Amino acid sequence: MERVIRAPCLQCSEEIEYHYKTIEIPYFSDVLITTVICESCGFHSVDVMILGENEPARYTLTVSTPKDMESRVIRSTTGTIEIPELGILVEPGPICDGFITNVEGVLVRVEDVIDRVITWSEGEELDRARELKGRIEEMRSGTIPFVLVVQDEDGNSAIIHPDVEKSAPIPYEDRT
Catalogue all structural domains in the chain, each as residue range(s) with its CATH number: 1-52 (2.20.25.420), 54-176 (2.60.120.1040)
> Distance between CA 29 and CA 57 in Å, rounded?
15
What is the share, in percent, of the chain residues with pLDDT greater than 70?
Answer: 95
> Distance between CA 163 and CA 14 in Å, rounded?
47
The pLDDT value recorded for residue 154 is 85
Closest CA to 19 of 55, 56, 58, 46: 46
The pLDDT value recorded for residue 156 is 84
The pLDDT value recorded for residue 173 is 60
CA dihedral 59, 62, 67, 70 (to 10 degrees): 30
> Distance between CA 59 and CA 46 in Å, rounded?
22
CA angle 64, 66, 72 (to 5 degrees): 90
> Distance between CA 89 and CA 106 in Å, rounded?
12
The pLDDT value recorded for residue 26 is 67
What is the share, in percent, of the chain residues with pLDDT greater than 90?
Answer: 69
Confidence of residue 27 (pLDDT cuts 50, 70, 90): low
> Distance between CA 90 and CA 122 in Å, rounded?
23
Confidence of residue 129 (pLDDT cuts 50, 70, 90): very high
> Residue 135 belongs to what H/E stretch?
helix 123-141
The pLDDT value recorded for residue 47 is 85
Which tops the pLDDT comparison, 142 or 164? Answer: 164
Confidence of residue 172 (pLDDT cuts 50, 70, 90): low
pTM of the model: 0.76
The pLDDT value recorded for residue 127 is 94
25-29, 88-92, 145-149: least confidently modelled range: 25-29
